[in-house]
Every structure is written in C-alpha cells, then in structure tokens.
Amino acid sequence: MTLLDERPVATAFLPVPGRPLPVVGAGRRAPLATGGTTAYADLDVAASAPCLQAVADAVAEALPWYASVHRGAGYASQVSTELLEQARAGVAGFLGCRPGDQVVFTRNTTDAFALLAHCLPAGTTVVSYASEHHANLLPWRGHAERGGRHVLLAVPASPQAALDALEGALRGLHGPVLVAVTGASNVTGEVWPVEQVVALARRYGARVAVDAAQLAPHRVVDLRALGADWVALSGHKLYAPYGAGVLAGRADWLDAAGPYLPGGGATTAVTTAGQAWAAGPARHEGGTPNVLGAVAIAVACAQLEAAGRAALERREHALLARLEAGLASVPGLRVHRLWGEAVERIGVATFTVEGWDPALLATALSAEHGVGVRHGRFCAHPLVDALLDCERPVDGCGDAASGTALRASIGVATTEADVDALVGGLRALTQAGPRAQYTRTSTGWAVASDARPSAAGTAARILRRQTHQ
C-alpha cells in the first residue's frame, strides 16, 4: 500500500480491531545501575506518549513525497498538500467539529492557547482556575498584560465548588468572556465537569475553550456534543510526537484577528503598501506548515478510533485499578486527589512517600528497577502547591524536595507487568532502601557509581550513527 492509492491518509494505517496498538520502542530493555538490564516500564506517558508504530510508518511513507504545500505544481507538492488537508479533515472528524469550525495546526497545546489568546477581541475577560496546566494559565496572563483581563479562580475543593465559583465570577462580567478549563487534570487524572461548565457559560453568554491535551488520548472529545467553542491538544501526548498540535473550533474570532504568525502562506496578496490576509486556517499557519506533524496526528486519531475508544477505556480502567491497589499497599505512600475516589479519572496517579525525596525515589526507580515516572510539579505549580499544602515563593525555596511529588501515568501500550514493576520497585525501595549509592546534583540526584551507558553517550551515538554507516 502506498500513499498514491485512493484512501485518505488518516485511514490508511488502521489497526486490527481488538488488538493492542503497537508503539515504537515496545520491548525496550533498560540498563540498570547495578548491572544487567530489565524490561523498561514507561509510566510517564502523560508527559510524552510513545509514538504509535502506525504513525511512524505513515510518516516514513509520507517523507518521500514531502514538499511545499498549496502553491507547488510538482506532483510531490500536490501530494503534500493533500496530506495536509486530508489530515486536517481527519482531525476535524476525530474532534466532532461542526460545519464552519476550523482546525489550525500549531506546535502544541501551549501554542494553541497562545494563538487563541492572540485572537481574543479587545476587552475580553478570560476566566480560568488555578488548577490548570501552565499551558492553560500563562497565555491568559499574557492577554491581561496586553490590556485584557484574567480572572483566576481558586483551586476548587469539589466539582460543585468549581461550578459555584465560576457562576460567581460570570455573574458580574460584561463584554466578551472566555472560560478556559481543562478536560482532565494532568496531575490528578480527575475528569472535569466540562458539560456543566459549558452549560453555565452559555447561560451568561460566555464562550469555552477546553484543554484536551490529557483528555483526548483517553476519552472521546466531541466539540458538537460538548457545545464548547474551542479545543486544544498536543500530538506528543496523542502518540504522535512530531512537533504538531491543534486548535479546533469557531472561526469568527480567529478570522477577525490579525495573523498569529505573519509570513508566507498567511496572505493572499502583498504589495509595497500593505497586504491582504488569508481567511481560514492559513491565516494563522504562516510559514511552511508541519505537514508530517499533521499526518502524524491524523493517523493517531484514526488509530484510536479504529481500536475502539470504549475498549481502550475499559482496559485503562482495569490498569488504573491495579495501579491504585498496588500503590495502596506501599507503606507511607499517599495518592493526591482534589475530589476523592468517586470522581471519574484517566490513567494518572500522583503520589508522595513519607520520608522520601520524590526526585531520589524517581531516580532509584529508574536506576534499579527500569521504571520511568515523572517527579516535580508537572507544569501545574499552583495545583501541586494546593495538593501538598506547600505554596512556595516565585523564586523557589531552599528545600528542593518541598512541594514536589511523583506521577505514574498509563497509556495504550501500558501492561500489567509495567504496573507491577512500579509497585514492586516502590516496595523494595521503601522496605529495604536503595542498593546503589546516590549523590545530590544541581538538578536532583545521580548514581554515584553507575554501570549504565550515559544518556549523553547514547544520544551522541544515535546522532552519529548515520554518519558512520
């Protein structure tokens, strides 16, 4: 099969229904600081998901036809143009876009919200929560610095508290209003009441933008069904790590604003006296677009749909239950949530272990057990501060461990063995202590005498490989 057949690229690499989705790097073995190797357990999927094998295959097949888009007469340029626009249509279908909605390809979720912030009408008030990822927090601060307004609501103690606070804020606002809310927390995994947020916003004439970076890989995101105005996501969290993201939704504010990135492709005409800007997605996709990134996202969307979202969700629920039961068996371990166990969650668990620096524990899990987890504040500092009751000044504090935690996250390639490796590693470390010796560094911890190849050496070898073949 080649890209020259008649099938749209977004449906050209479909999985066999009922089978797991293969990812690049499946079966990797991690070197251990104490010698030997073990199966690598990647439980840091919420940060960057592995590439689906079908996505890598599609990009590899598209590469020979990569060229400029929209204006080239050559056959490769025509194929690249079709790849970009068919990918746009595939993403629109995946997100349930309505007639007239636009799909703009960006770099990631942060870039998508920065684009939307650029397009807000003068005087727009943005309402968001302190529990948001920085991608859905800092662009609105920039909007306020440019003369707009940003109302930041406190981290809510319950879903109802979130709705009550929102209504209180909306009641006194005038002019254009945008409510920016996450679909699922990247820290706690809790799914937010987006439908109720949208209904409440509509009652007060406000619009809604949804951060679906974490939600879309785990649950169906349907703009039409949600009634939201925009949704943003990142390819690197959707098993398509090729440097692209998406802002999808209403066209009016996007078409009324000047280009987010003025340049070639964003215009219909340029003279010495001025220019005419394009309408539609091209208006904000100045320069040469990331065709391969768009292909990657579209194929990932098609893969998830073909695999069956309900089946993937059932599998994730089972793995999450196994993870939470295992974590509960580790003495001194506490899982941190905003709203308790009754709230729907995606496959994310953030925790601390009494007496352990999260950075040291994460380092030891990797070095001695081949388990990859995240530690820190997860680009959601106000939320983690609230969860741990440890707010820090902007310039930090003396104790590097204060106000940080560990996070384990599940994806389509996660196995029961991965979960068991994490739980087993936590038990071994907390009960018997680490086997290796660790020293503090400027960025955390390192193994004092490490038998593993250095990460820098591995990276250098990868970069040199083609040169010496």
Residues belonging to the active site? 379
Q: Distance between CA atoms of 13 and 21, rounded to whole angstroms? A: 11
Q: Show Cβ contacts of residue 85 under 8 Å, excluding neighbours closer than 6 positions.
A: none
DSSP state of 283: G
Q: Which residues pair with 38 in a beta bridge?
A: 30
**Contact call for residues 368 and 425 (beta carbons, < 8 A):** yes
> CA-to-CA distance for 34 and 46, rounded, in angstroms?
28
Q: Which residue has the tokens 């870039």?
A: 111
Q: Which helix (H) or strand (E) holds 371?
A: strand 371-372
Going by their DSSP bridges, the two strands 438-440 and 445-447 should be labelled as antiparallel
CA distance 414 to 184: 19
Quickly tell me which residue has 């063995």 as its tokens: 417
**371 vs 195: CA distance, rounded Å:** 36
CB-based burial, 18-54: b 16+ in 10 Å, e otherwise: eebbbbbeeeeebbbbbeeeeebbbbbbbbebbbbbb
- Burial per residue of 344-366, b for 16 or more beta-carbon CB atoms within 10 angstroms, e otherwise: ebbbbbbbbbeebbbbbbbbbbb
| Strand 29-31 to 37-39 pairing | antiparallel
Q: Which tokens go with 174? A: 């005038």
- Residues 416-439, buried b or exposed e (16+ Cβ, 10 A)? eebbebbbbbbebbbeeebebebe
Rounded to the nearest 10 degrees, how much is the dihedral formed by the CA atoms of 137, 138, 144, 150? 10
- Could you identify the residue written with the tokens 């939201």? 228
Give the C-alpha separation, 29 to 387, whole Å: 34
In DSSP notation, 413-459 reads: T--HHHHHHHHHHHHHHHHH--SS-EEE-SSSEEESS--SPPHHHHH
Tokens of 454: 């250095």
First vs last C-alpha separation in the chain: 29
